[in-house]
Structure 1
Amino acid sequence: MPDTSRPRTREETRRGNERAILAAAEKVFAEAGFGGATMQLIADMAGLPKANLHYYFPTKEALYRRVVQNIFEIWLHAADVFDGADGPVEGIGAYIDAKMEISRRHPAGSKVWASEVMHGAPVIQDYLETTLREWTGGRAAVIQGWIDAGKMAPVDPAHLLYMLWATTQHYADFGHQIETLNGGKALSDRQWKAAKDSVKAIILRGIGAV
């Protein structure tokens, strides 16, 4: 637990304010989109004066790019499991687990990314053409190595990645639909585990890895 017996340092205050701003911005951008979001609305949700918001993020676009960068970096970190994996069962299985957990814990961030891309990526197109393209090429090469080693069926690595993204992010982007079909309730811990196990079984069997 944090030590509440001493006043917060300036750095702790800065980090706390930034976390509050980013959490609020993630929700507002997910609900209203880039065009509908305002810095005042984000400041109100964060519980901070608008002037404080501009101190940390001078423009709405700068804040939006930071929100998008955050969810993307979380996704990139999830893919680290590919690097030391012996094969698709370990690598893709762990990747599905990680991506499903991100959808559970960061649904708003996933929705912001999805909305941006569906609108032609007007703000982050440069990100898609650089970081995402490089990341995709690297992971596709790992998958191709598993194919060449006979550890899975010869499928197109890029399309496999697209399927993994679509399936795991569905649980965030279409969370309301899933909750509606679940009797109006969020998935329980048991249901999340069952969902992860089902997705892994379907995909790993489909690519001939198990």
Structure 2
Amino acid sequence: MASENIVWHETTISKADRQSKKGHKSCILWFTGLSGSGKSTLANAVEKELYQRNVHSYVLDGDNVRHGLNKGLGFTEEDRKENIRRIGEVAKLFLDAGVITLTAFISPFREDRNLVRSLVEVDEFIEIFVSASIETCERRDPKGLYGKARAGIIPNFTGISSPYEEPEAPELVINTDKQSVEESVAKVISYLEEKQII
């Protein structure tokens, strides 16, 4: 339980100041989708393009975060919710720092994604549904996880023994069954330009 003696301390330099210094706005690009849909691949490819344009960005990847900040969390529904809550708070800090933050997390529950959306201002949370059929994801299966889930070795596996709730109104849908990485990156960059974030 939070202490009543903790008070939010306003910083001297504002988010707007940091954005002005960097020459672009900040936002959270929240890539969500099944394991193997291409979230991490796409997030890293978008960051590469942003880097080449001198845009300040950072990728928060599901597996990488579980090696540190969230290494004590498992994959029960409760732990998954806490995982996303923490990531949302970290992403909000990066946003305040003026950084375009790309997050690649399955984040299977709408409620949890909406919670993160509620942490920031309107238009600062951009939900990107990385869509691919379960068959495509199983065929790709870069980590061999679907095979283990089908064999019962991995419990609570999204898409097999645990549900994935597709976004109802995402800002972007990227269908990696049909679009190349290059086409997908171009779609995200175009959105950022249209919204005058970059």
Q: Give the TM-score taking structure 1 as reference length.
A: 0.27
Higher helix residue share: 1
Larger radius of gyration: 1
Q: Which structure is richer in relative contact order (CA contacts within 8 A, separation 6 or more)?
A: 2
Q: Give the TM-score taking structure 2 as reference length.
A: 0.29
